[in-house]
Amino acid sequence: MVKESKAKKAIIIGATSGIGLDMAKFFSMDGYVLGITGRRKHLLEQLKEELAGECHIKSFDVSDDSAGEELEALIDEMGGMDLIIINAGIGFVDKKLPWEKDKITIDTNVLGFTAMANTAYRYFLKKGTGHLVGIPSIAALRGGPAPAYNASKAYVSNYLQGLRSITARNKTKIVITDIQPGFIDTAMAQGGGLFWVASQQEAASQIFTAIKKKRKHAYISKRWRLIAWVLKIVPDFLYHKM
């Protein structure tokens, strides 16, 4: 068992913008000691100044080979970790499907996510408890006009389900949460036909609540559960017209 203080400690991977930034504010106000990561150090430093409580920053790219070691270093610096939220992700909509964009998507959303989730889960196994949160997307349910993005999000959800299966079989006290947002008003929201678009703050608030309740799965916002149901059953000839 890893010895650490009783203070609640959370790490947010990908906190420099979007819902990651707003989630950092919610958890800081709730009394958590925070570790925040991102590629842009100056934005991490800026966010640190805005937060209410103790905060540690670590600048790295999740797709780098050293990402797992960087996360381990941040955990050591904080004296432990109770919760990790893996929020880093990227996606492109481009009908020409340039390989460089697909590769960046896979490197970040698949390899980067796995490096963070694997490192965090192994830490929680040693500790005997912990909470791991992944934030894929409603896009995980079916392929779409950004094939690599949708496929990468399906990978994330499937990986989380696998971790939950391992946890259940081993009767380990580790909580695995899969958050699937719909459209959120961030730079990631691309293309036309957007609807039910939630603000960053609204989405972060609902995610914060789902995490605090230790939900296994949550759609953000809740009404996207209806869309998820439709996506799962609609036949291809109708789906491709949506």
* Catalytic machinery residues: 149
Largest CA distance in the chain: 56
**Which tokens hold the place of 70?**
């960087």
Q: Is 221 left (phi over 0), alpha (psi -120 to 50) or beta?
A: beta
What is the rounded distance in angstroms from the CA atom of residue 182 to the CA atom of residue 189? 10
Sheet hosting strand 33-38, strand order edge to edge: 55-59, 33-38, 9-13, 83-86, 129-134, 173-181, 217-220
Q: Measure Cα distances from 103 to 35, 83, 109 in Å.
A: 28, 29, 10
Q: Which residues in the chain belong to E strands, given as ranges?
A: 9-13, 33-38, 55-59, 83-86, 129-134, 173-181, 217-220
Structure tokens at 143: 């392929």
Beta strands at 55-59 and 83-86: parallel, antiparallel or unpaired:
unpaired
Q: Which helix (H) or strand (E) holds 208?
A: helix 200-212
Instruction: Determine the 3-state secondary structure of 94 from DSSP.
Output: coil
